[in-house]
């Protein structure tokens, strides 16, 4: 199981939000590029980049930083504000290994299908859930779409992977929603990345135990920044026999 450290960018800073609330923000670094390089240097084989300004604006707001990260030799995926093919091309050209479509995957399934066809294996559907329903637009809007139903839809449209984030857990340091993540993973054949709420190595181990259900990655943000454990410790826990 792979551990993917997160770098969330807002206003040019590396930040973390609690439950996706832009008014509950903690700044962890004034240099997101250096932070991405740091995570890569201590074992992160892929960095999860979130453009929080882009998620609200509906366009890429961090192209320059993405190019710097790529120029430093750091592999990354990116999401936030990617809602048309022009922006998909922008972030691919800036060096993204994977592109995450969240709001656009729900509102414009044809875009997801077109992007997946043009960039096979590189288009990821980001499913953000609040009480079992899909949330959109930087988590500002909750739909009536069931997360499991939507997981099946994005698989059918060609997504290579799903990143599932439980908003109620995200940033709360209370543990991951293993069961909902497991339900999403068991409903599809494509791999699922778990995100949100990881607060201890026990949370990593809990997800490792359900790896056979199709969960092969864990995104970790706040816990690493608060030094609850180190990235190498998380990587070791994720590699333990289940």
> Phi and psi of 31, rounded to 5°?
-135, 85
User: How large is the angle between the packed helices 201-208 and 178-186, nearest 10 degrees?
Assistant: 30
- Is 128 noted as a catalytic residue in this protein? yes
Is 30 catalytic? The answer is no
Considering the candidates 53, 128, 166, 203, report the single residue annotated as catalytic.
Answer: 128
* Dihedral sign for Cα atoms in the order 217, 220, 223, 227: positive
Q: Which of 225, 218, 228, 238 is nearest to 177 (CA)?
A: 218
- State the Cα–Cα distance between residues 153 and 111, nearest whole angstrom: 13
Judge contact between 151 and 162, C-beta under 8 A: yes
Of the candidates 62, 33, 1, 4, the one whose C-alpha atom is nearest the C-alpha of residue 195 is: 4
DSSP annotation of 118: H
Q: Which of 50, 44, 37 is nearest to 9 (CA)?
A: 50
Alpha helix ranges (H) inside 4-159: 32-41, 52-57, 63-71, 85-93, 103-107, 109-118, 147-157
* Residues identified as active-site: 8, 128
């Amino acid at each position: 199981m792979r551990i993917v450290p997160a770098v969330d960018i807002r206003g040019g800073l590396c930040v973390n939000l609690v439950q996706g609330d832009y008014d509950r923000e903690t700044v962890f670094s004034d240099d997101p590029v250096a932070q991405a390089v740091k995570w890569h240097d201590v074992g992160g084989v892929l960095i999860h980049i979130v453009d929080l300004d882009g998620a609200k604006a509906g366009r890429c707001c961090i192209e320059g930083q993405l190019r710097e990260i790529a120029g430093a030799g750091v592999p990354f995926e990116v999401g936030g504000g990617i809602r048309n093919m022009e922006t998909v091309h922008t972030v691919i050209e800036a060096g993204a290994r994977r592109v995450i479509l969240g709001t656009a995957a729900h509102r414009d399934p044809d875009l997801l299908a077109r992007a997946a066809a043009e960039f096979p294996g590189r288009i990821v559907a980001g499913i953000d859930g609040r009480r079992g329903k899909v949330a959109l637009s930087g988590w500002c809007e909750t739909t009536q779409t069931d997360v499991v139903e939507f997981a099946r839809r994005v698989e059918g449209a060609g997504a290579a992977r799903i990143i599932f984030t439980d908003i109620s857990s995200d940033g709360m340091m209370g543990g991951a929603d293993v069961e909902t993540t497991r339900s999403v993973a068991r409903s599809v054949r494509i791999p699922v990345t778990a995100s949100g709420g990881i607060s201890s190595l026990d949370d990593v181990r809990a997800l490792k135990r359900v790896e056979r259900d199709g969960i092969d990655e864990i995104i970790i943000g706040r816990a690493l920044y608060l030094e609850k454990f180190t990235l190498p410790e998380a990587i070791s826990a994720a590699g333990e026999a289940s």
